[in-house]
């Protein structure tokens, strides 16, 4: 069976490094590695104890050529990451040593693992559920302490337990309805309807509480999408520099279809901001002086937060006014830049806008930047996040929660309209299944494959 043959992959990053680890998992992991291993005095690995290591060499099969000097560790299933017998070969780092050792492991009878296959096995073998498996990749990708903390909590099964408990309550509702339907007496049906109305309301409240965390959760995981807009020369690049200078985390270049969009990650007290650098886009355009309100609109619509930069040393023109009008129903901060110069901008045009969200800054002199950061923080974390709160960070989980909540609402309506209670049971079953998708208890195979294919090799 392909699913549970013995797999192998390099688990560490590729490149020059002190050591590399080649991970081997499956029923034959130990015998495969043992067949290419020679320890002191010719010892093999047959008698190695679980959770111990042995020093030796990897030897080319069918010759006595030494491939590399290694330390091998052994974790007997089910007490391993995959819940299968796992052997890890610590060899020298660097591309050649690593590749040669892996080749020998493959020649000796294992297969190259697919991306995420080790974690997938941990899931298929029942050691972790799907939300825990997904947390593994979040830990690897975490860009801030906060996202790391949140992913770790998910990995420990906090979300699974919460979802499990809500599912259990929904099951209670279903069971109650079914018991009543089996004894169709009018007064019983009414009593049941009253009881499960209360239950459903409280279940919906719990689901919504989790959903409320999703917005902040998404920000913690993916970063807050911030777009800086404004006409040329108002100081957008200067603002970006002022923000990035203090705390640059990661700069990624994402190749777009027609041009390169630069995303800068900065970190404000644990909130990762993914700043879309529109200045970079503009430079590659011919129509430099045209701000292109249309193009800004698209970026504005995709962003979680808009920072509109205006030059307070000039009067506003129609273009500025048009953008102001466009953003007034969105989450925005208006930055009146060049506060070190004389004010010429007429503030009365801001009448329809939220004054609290207007900040005077000088990007050049670094004035008002702290206030801006404080503002961003407050806008997105009104409540204090404590490390013990469960947070929904995964959009797949969020969608499943939304569907479950909608179905519970539908069940509630059925009861309120006095329809037969077994209609409510259909929706309740649906909600129960939706929640099961989060933990992987009810999930299609191809979706599983898709989730694990996002992992890196060796994990």
Binding site for ligand GDP (CB under 6 A): 230, 232-238, 279, 337-338, 340-341, 362-364
Smallest separation (angstroms) from ligand GDP to the CB of 368:
9
Residue nearer to ligand GDP on the CB measure, 289 or 445 = 289
Cα 326 to Cα 274, 279, 290, 301: the distances in Å are 22, 20, 17, 10
Distance CA 297, CA 47 (A): 67
Smallest separation (angstroms) from ligand GDP to the CB of 275:
13
Greatest Cα-to-Cα distance within the chain, rounded to the nearest angstrom = 88
Smallest separation (angstroms) from ligand GDP to the CB of 409:
47
Residue 131 CA to its chain's centroid (Å): 11
Residue nearer to ligand GDP on the CB measure, 242 or 401 = 242
Residue nearer to ligand GDP on the CB measure, 13 or 232 = 232
Smallest separation (angstroms) from ligand GDP to the CB of 162:
45
Smallest separation (angstroms) from ligand GDP to the CB of 317:
15
Distance CA 24, CA 9 (A): 7
Tokens read off for 92: 């020298």
Residue nearer to ligand GDP on the CB measure, 32 or 229 = 229
3-state SS class at 15: coil
**Residues comprising the chain, all counted:** 459
Residues 6+ apart with CB under 8 A from 360: 312, 335, 336, 339, 367, 368
Smallest separation (angstroms) from ligand GDP to the CB of 238:
3
3-state SS class at 155: helix
Cα 135 to Cα 246, 370, 401, 450: the distances in Å are 30, 33, 17, 15
Smallest separation (angstroms) from ligand GDP to the CB of 280:
10
Tokens read off for 252: 């990624």
């Amino acid at each position: 069976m392909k699913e549970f043959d013995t797999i192998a992959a390099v688990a560490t990053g590729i490149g020059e490094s002190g050591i590399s680890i080649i991970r081997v998992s499956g029923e034959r992991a130990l015998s495969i590695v043992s067949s290419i291993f020679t320890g002191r005095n010719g010892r093999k690995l047959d008698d190695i104890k679980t959770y111990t290591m042995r020093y030796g060499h990897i030897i080319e099969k069918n010759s006595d050529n030494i491939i590399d000097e290694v330390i091998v560790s052994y974790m007997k299933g089910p007490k391993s990451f995959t819940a299968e017998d796992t052997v890890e070969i610590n060899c020298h780092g660097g591309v050649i040593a690593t590749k040669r050792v892996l080749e020998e492991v493959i020649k000796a009878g294992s297969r190259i693992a697919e991306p995420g296959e080790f974690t997938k096995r941990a899931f298929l073998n029942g050691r972790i559920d799907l939300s825990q498996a997904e947390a593994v990749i979040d830990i690897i990708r975490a860009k801030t302490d906060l996202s790391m903390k949140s992913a770790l909590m998910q990995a420990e099964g906090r979300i699974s337990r919460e979802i499990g408990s809500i599912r259990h309550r929904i099951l209670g509702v279903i069971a109650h309805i079914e018991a009543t339907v089996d004894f169709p007496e009018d007064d019983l049906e009414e009593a049941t309807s009253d009881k499960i109305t209360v239950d459903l309301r409280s279940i919906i409240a719990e689901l919504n509480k989790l959903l409320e965390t999703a917005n902040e959760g998404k920000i913690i995981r993916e970063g807050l999408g911030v777009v800086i807009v404004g006409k040329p020369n108002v100081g957008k690049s200067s603002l970006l520099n002022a923000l990035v200078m203090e705390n640059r985390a990661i700069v990624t270049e994402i190749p777009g279809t027609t041009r390169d969009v630069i995303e800068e990650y900065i970190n404000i007290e644990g909130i990762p901001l993914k700043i879309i650098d529109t200045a970079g886009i503009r430079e590659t355009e011919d129509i430099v002086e045209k701000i292109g309100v249309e193009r800004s609109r698209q970026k504005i619509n995709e962003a979680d937060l808009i920072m509109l930069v205006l030059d307070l040393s000039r009067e506003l023109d129609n273009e500025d006014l048009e953008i102001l009008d466009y953003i007034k129903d969105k989450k925005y901060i208006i930055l009146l830049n060049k506060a070190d110069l004389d004010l010429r901008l007429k503030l009365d045009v801001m009448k329809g806008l939220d004054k609290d969200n207007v900040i005077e800054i000088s990007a050049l002199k670094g004035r008002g930047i702290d206030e801006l950061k404080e503002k961003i923080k407050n806008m997105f974390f009104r409540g204090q996040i404590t490390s013990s709160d469960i947070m929904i960070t995964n959009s797949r989980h969020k969608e499943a929660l939304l569907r479950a909540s909608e179905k519970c609402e539908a069940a509630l309506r059925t009861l309120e309209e006095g329809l037969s209670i077994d209609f409510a049971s259909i929706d309740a079953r649906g909600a129960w299944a939706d929640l099961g998708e989060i933990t992987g208890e009810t999930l299609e195979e191809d979706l599983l494959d898709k989730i694990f294919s996002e992992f890196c090799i060796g994990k």
